[in-house]
Amino acid sequence: MAKEIERRFHLKDDSWRGLTEGEWLKQGYLSVERERTVRVRIKGEQAWLTLKSNISNVSRHEFEYPIPLADAETILAAMCPLLVEKKRYRILHGGHLWEVDEFFGLNEGLTLAEVELAGEDEAYARPDWLGDEVTEDPRYTNAYLSKHPWPSWGRD
């Protein structure tokens, strides 16, 4: 069974910029509930359907399946009125891959970092540019941001 364990953080500064090139992601949600989400994502010329269910604030079951790009584009246009658009930067630090998401569109101005772990208690080295942890705040999930854009609930 697929399992995703990740921690999410604000960034305290822009010193991470220039460490890597980013890639554009566009995603929409067919189901946005804390207990389960269904997402369609496009990255470049590839697309996926992803299903997630909550285990804890840090862990989720995650199942991801490639789908035809044309299908993903149709699903996003026809069934997902609120999209999450972001540029993702992948940065290797301390033996872990960090993903920094710079949001655009309705969530413009928000930038978050996340790291996937093998276990909820796994130790990891914190990059200097990492700010406060927001893993336990469900507002910072992409699913929540799709329905409640960040500027509508204020900047932290």
105: left (phi over 0), alpha (psi -120 to 50) or beta: left
pLDDT in tens, 40-99: 999 999 999 999 998 777 888 999 999 999 999 999 999 998 899 999 999 999 999 999
Domains of the chain in start order, with CATH, are 3-153 (2.40.320.10)
pLDDT in tens, 84-132: 999 999 999 999 999 999 999 999 999 999 999 999 899 999 999 999 9
**Choice among 29, 89, 140, 144 that is catalytic:** 29
pLDDT above 70: residue 1: no
Alpha-carbon span 140 to 28, nearest angstrom: 15
The mean per-residue pLDDT over the stretch 123-146 comes to 94
Q: Is the pTM of this model over 0.85?
A: yes
Whether residue 29 lies in the annotated active site: yes
Check residue 156 and give its pLDDT. Answer: 45
Check residue 151 and give its pLDDT. Answer: 87
CA distances from 146 to 17, 34, 60, 121, 128 (A): 25, 13, 18, 29, 29
